[in-house]
């Protein structure tokens, strides 16, 4: 059912997940108050919900602890999925089935099977489903992509992305397991992930460093950088992937590596992602970013700058600052719902960009190089690696099997 939006009709939005990025989304939607209104928010942790409501200072936004009650409301048009990664797919699929449009945070999903399912659910229910890879909405990232695609940098043979910092030695520390704090529905928070005792590091923000909920830095930050590379290079499926590293220095209870290098092989270029959490010496002068290496020049791009460095004066040097990213992404999501504008990061694009770092993590976890058959959405001849494409979803939070099939 397609709704028509008149000039005075506002898109009614609910935010699911009231943590750091949920609050950020509230601020973005508030900038477009003529086109939308946030009418409901949801969190399984009462403290997070209360803090969110206090920050926004509005009594007309209705709080929920179970997102399914939001999906039952006929007066809500769209939801923002701002929960940890392990919830993205199930909530997005439930929302599509309930007729809602979705802006789901990155990485699109916790594992490859869930990403495929999100694409098919969005297609089947004809919903607007965007992924929160906001860098694509930044004008200077678009300019970087144009430069790469123009051929001015010559033949690009390799691209390097990285995030380096020094959290040694304690990292996120080693708090003991305990009872969950009052007001946190820990069983609901775990959702499709295995049942286990509460640990503060597994919950707010630091869930990123545990395999049951996320994929460490490679999917947390790597996905943003890799997304831009795939867009610029015009390819989304690597053929081979290897990754090595380990948890070599940090003495905390994280599971994901503090040191990792992943390499993906594409048609005739390679992509490398480096993460160091135990040494912050900048690479090419920066703590994070993307470097494209061409025969005529190199291009650096990050959220706040774009620079071109010539090779043998074959291309002019160039420099500019950054540009807004979150605001135009939100604006585009609303225009897609109201006017049928194409999304800047639709679910297919976001899922493809998520699969690449997920494959990096799989290669790391099995400890050998893997071959990716994108057409079949399978790793070639490696049972152990293929098992990591999906998970054992804890009941009742499974993903309908009919959606789990290749996306081409």
Q: Which is nearer to ligand NAD, 86 or 236 (CB)?
A: 86
Choose one: 16-24, 116-124, 257-265, 302-310; the region binding ligand NAD (CB under 6 A).
Answer: 16-24
SS3 373: strand
Q: Distance between CA atoms of 45 and 51, rounded to whole angstroms?
A: 10
SS (H, E, C) 288-344: EEEEEEECCEEEEEECCEEEEEECCCCCCCEEEECCCCHHHHHHHHHHHHHHCCCCC
Does position 100 interact with ligand NAD (CB under 6 A)? The reply is: no
Using the rule CB under 6 A, is 114 a contact of ligand NAD?
A: no
Of 13, 78, 82, 121, the one binding ligand NAD by CB under 6 A: 82
In angstroms, give the least distance from the CB of 72 to ligand NAD.
Answer: 15
Binding to ligand NAD (CB under 6 A) within 137-196 occurs at 188-189, 191
Q: Cα(115)–Cα(118) distance, rounded to whole angstroms? A: 5
Cβ at position 187, least distance to ligand NAD in Å: 10
In the bound state with ligand NAD, the residue whose beta carbon lies nearer, of 50 and 311, is 50
Report the distance separating Cα 328 and Cα 133, nearest Å: 11
Joined together, the tokens standing for residue 337 give 């719902």
Choosing from 77, 114, 220, 331, the residue that interacts with ligand NAD (CB under 6 A) is 220
Near ligand NAD in 240-279, by CB under 6 A: none
| Residue 344 to residues 221, 286, 341, Cα–Cα distance (Å) | 19, 27, 9
Residues 42-71 that bind ligand NAD (CB under 6 A): 42-45, 48, 67
CB of 90 to ligand NAD, least distance (A): 8
Examine residue 84 and tell whether it contacts ligand NAD (CB under 6 A): yes
Stretch that binds ligand NAD, among 28-36, 77-85, 271-279, 307-315 (CB under 6 A): 77-85
Q: Are 252 and 172 in contact (CB under 8 A)?
A: yes
Report the 10 Å Cβ neighbour count for 8: 6
Q: Is 361 in the site for ligand NAD (CB under 6 A)?
A: no
CB of 260 to ligand NAD, least distance (A): 17
Binds ligand NAD by CB under 6 A, chosen from 13, 14, 16, 347: 16
Work out how close the CB of 265 gets to ligand NAD at its nearest, in angstroms, rounded to a whole number.
Answer: 26
> How many Å separate Cα 356 from the centre of its chain?
12
Nearer CB in complex with ligand NAD: 216/294 = 216
Residue nearest to ligand NAD (CB): 19
Whether 217 contacts 164, CB under 8 Å = no
* H or E element that contains 351: helix 347-366
Closer by beta carbon to ligand NAD, 172 or else 204: 204
Query: Is 28 near ligand NAD (CB under 6 A)?
Result: no
- Strand 370-373's sheet: what is its strand order? 318-321, 305-310, 297-302, 288-294, 156-164, 270-276, 259-265, 240-246, 370-373, 378-379
Q: What is the total count of residues that contact ligand NAD (CB under 6 A)?
A: 28
| Of the candidates 223, 193, 214, 191, the residue with the CA atom closest to the CA atom of residue 94 | 191
The size of the chain, in residues, is: 408
Please say which residue, 83 or 330, places its beta carbon nearer to ligand NAD.
83
- Judged by the rule CB under 6 A, the positions of this chain that interact with ligand NAD are 16-22, 42-45, 48, 67, 82-85, 87, 105-106, 132, 134, 188-189, 191, 204-205, 220
């Amino acid at each position: 059912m397609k709704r028509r939006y008149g000039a005075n009709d506002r898109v009614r939005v609910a935010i699911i997940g009231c943590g750091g990025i949920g609050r950020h989304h509230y601020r973005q939607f508030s900038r477009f108050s003529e086109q939308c209104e946030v009418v409901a928010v949801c969190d399984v942790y009462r403290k997070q919900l209360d803090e969110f409501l206090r920050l926004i200072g509005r009594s007309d936004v209705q709080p929920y602890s179970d997102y399914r009650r939001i999906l039952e409301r006929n007066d809500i048009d769209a939801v923002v999925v701002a929960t940890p990664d392990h919830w993205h797919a199930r909530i997005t699929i439930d929302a599509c089935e309930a007729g809602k449009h979705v802006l789901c945070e990155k990485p699109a999903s916790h594992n490859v099977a869930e990403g495929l399912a999100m694409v098919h659910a969005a297609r089947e229910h004809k919903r607007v489903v965007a992924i929160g890879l906001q860098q694509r909405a930044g004008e200077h990232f678009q300019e970087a992509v144009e430069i790469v695609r123009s051929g001015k940098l010559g033949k690009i043979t390799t691209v390097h992305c990285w995030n380096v910092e020094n959290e040694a030695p304690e990292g996120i520390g080693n708090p003991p397991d305990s009872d969950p704090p009052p007001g946190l529905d820990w069983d609901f928070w775990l959702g499709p992930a295995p049942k286990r005792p509460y640990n503060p590091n597994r919950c707010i923000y630091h869930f990123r460093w545990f395999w049951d909920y996320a994929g460490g830095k490679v999917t947390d930050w790597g996905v943003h950088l890799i997304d831009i590379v795939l867009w610029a290079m015009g390819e989304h499926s690597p053929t081979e992937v290897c990754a090595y590293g380990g948890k070599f220095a940090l003495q905390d209870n994280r599971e994901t590596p503090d040191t990792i290098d992943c390499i993906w092989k594409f048609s005739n270029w390679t992509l490398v992602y480096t993460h160091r959490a135990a040494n912050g010496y900048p690479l090419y002068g920066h703590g994070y970013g993307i470097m494209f290496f061409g025969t005529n020049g190199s291009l650096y791009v990050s959220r706040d700058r774009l620079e071109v460095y010539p090779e043998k004066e074959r291309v002019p040097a160039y420099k500019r600052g950054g540009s807004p990213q979150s605001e135009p992404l939100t604006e585009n999501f609303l225009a897609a719902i109201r006017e049928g504008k194409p999304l800047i990061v639709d679910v297919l694009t976001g899922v493809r960009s998520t699969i690449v770092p997920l494959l990096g993590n799989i290669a790391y976890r099995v400890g050998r190089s893997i071959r990716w058959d994108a057409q079949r959405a399978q790793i070639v001849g490696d049972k152990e690696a293929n098992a990591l494409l999906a998970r054992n979803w804890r009941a009742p939070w499974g993903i309908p099997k009919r959606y789990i099939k290749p996306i081409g």
